Amino acid sequence: MAARAPEQISHSNASPKPGSAVNKKIIGFALGALLYALCFFAEAQQQEKNTPQIGLLFAGDASAVAGRTQAFRQGLQERGYVEGKNIVIEYRYGEGKLDRMPLLAAELVHLKVNVIVTGGPTDTRAVKQATSTIPIVMAQDSDPIGSGFVASLARPGGNITGLSSLAPEISGKQLELIKEIVPRLSRVAVLGNSIEPGNAQALREAERAAAAIGVELQYLEIRGPADIASSLSTVEKNYASALIVLRNPVTGAYRKQTLDIASKSRVPAMYVSPEWVEAGGLMCYAPDIRDNWRRVAIYVDKILKGAKPTDLPVEQPKKFEFVINLKTAKQIGLTIPPNVLARADRVIR
C-alpha cells in the first residue's frame, strides 16, 4: 500500500517568527512607548525640581493662622502662583511649643526651599539660626531691628527682609478706646511675654497712656498654658476692670483658653488682631495682619525672580482695623457707646 504524503498545514494564523517584519514592528512600538514614558517621567521630575518651594513657619497652630495663610495664597494668586500647580508650599506649625521651632526650621532648610516666610519673631529667630543663605521673609515682626534681624528698615542687610507690625503707640490707643467703653476704668490687666520682641515697647506706651488717664496697669507674664489658667484667678482677685492681650505665640496657640479669661471674668478685653474678635473676643485695634500677609507675596515674587533680601526694604503696616463683636458685648453685659461703634471698621453682630 502506497504511503500517503503528509498534509500541508497552513501557518497563516501562527505567531510571527523571530526576525519577521511583524515582530520588528511590535518591538519598535514597545521601545517607542518605553522611550516616551521615560521622557515623560524625566520631564515631570525636572518640572517638579524647577517648581518654586516656599516654606511657611508658625509658632502657633494651623487653625489660629488660617486667615493669614489664605491671605498669603491670595497674594500669590494675584501674581500668577497657584499652590499645587506652579508653586509648592511647605507648612510647619509649632502649636505653641516654642522648643520645637529650631527643629521645624531645620526641616525647611533641609528641604532646600527657595524662600522661608515666618509668622513672627520666634519663627524668624529659629530660621535665622538655621540658615544664612536661604532668603527669609518676615510677615509681621514687631521689632526687626531690636531683634537683630535687620540692620535697618531701609537697608536690611543679610538674608532677611519683609514686613514689620511695629506700632508700639497702638497700646495707648487701645487703652483710650477701653476707657471710652468703660468710663470708670481703674485697673487693667495686661497679658504679655517678656521675650516677645515689641512687647516691652508696647507696655511702656500703655503705661504712659495709663498714667495720663489715671489707670493702673497690672502686667501678667504668660510663658506657657499654665500661666494662662492662673491669670484668670489673678484678674478676678485684683478686680481688673479690663484686659489687654499683647502679641504672644503662647496665647496665640491657646486662643480659646485665653478668651475664656475675659468671658469668665466678664471684663472687656482688647486683642491683637481681628481673628481674636472673630473667635469670640470683644474687640481689637491693630495693624491689619492679613493685609501684611497679602503683601508678603510681593516679596516672595521678587525674590523668586532674582531680587536679594538685602535690597528689599522692610515695610511697616499700612492698614489698621478696629473691630467690635456685639454678641460678646451682650454676653458680658456691656453696652458699646454709639460714638465708639461708629468708628469701628467692622462690627460682628
Nearest to 174 by CA among 261, 277, 316, 269: 269
Distances (CA, A) of 131 to 88, 98, 170: 20, 18, 33
CB 265 within 8 Å of CB 334: no
Answer whether residue 70 is part of any domain: yes
Domain count, the chain: 2
Together in a domain, 200 and 326:
yes
Q: Which positions ≥6 away from 22 have C-beta within 8 Å? A: 16
**Is the model's pLDDT at 235 over the cut of 80?**
yes
Together in a domain, 253 and 269:
yes
pLDDT for residue 201: 82
pLDDT tens for 159-207 read 999 999 877 678 888 999 999 999 999 999 999 998 887 788 888 888 9
Answer whether residue 46 is part of any domain: no
**In which band, very low, low, confident or very high, does the pLDDT at 10 lie, cut at 50, 70 and 90?**
very low
CB 341 within 8 Å of CB 177: no
Together in a domain, 153 and 247:
no
pLDDT for residue 167: 75
pLDDT tens for 309-347 read 999 999 988 889 999 999 999 999 999 999 999 999 999
Together in a domain, 60 and 203:
no
**Is the model's pLDDT at 94 over the cut of 90?**
yes
Together in a domain, 94 and 188:
no
Together in a domain, 217 and 331:
yes
Please state the pTM of the whole predicted model.
0.73
Together in a domain, 343 and 214:
yes
Q: Could you give the 3-state DSSP secondary structure of residue 208?
A: helix
Answer whether residue 68 is part of any domain: yes
Together in a domain, 147 and 235:
no
Together in a domain, 120 and 190:
no
Q: How far apart are CA 319 and CA 316, in angstroms?
A: 9
Answer whether residue 29 is part of any domain: no
**Helix ranges (DSSP H) in 91-246:** 101-110, 121-130, 170-181, 199-213, 225-237
The boundaries of the domain holding residue 218 are 170-287+320-348
- The position carrying cell 542687610 is 157
pLDDT tens for 11-25 read 445 555 555 666 666
Say which amino acid occupies 6. Answer: P
- The x, y and z cell numbers of residue 292, run together, are 501684611
CATH code at 220? Answer: 3.40.50.2300
- The position carrying cell 487701645 is 174
Answer whether residue 71 is part of any domain: yes
Answer whether residue 44 is part of any domain: no
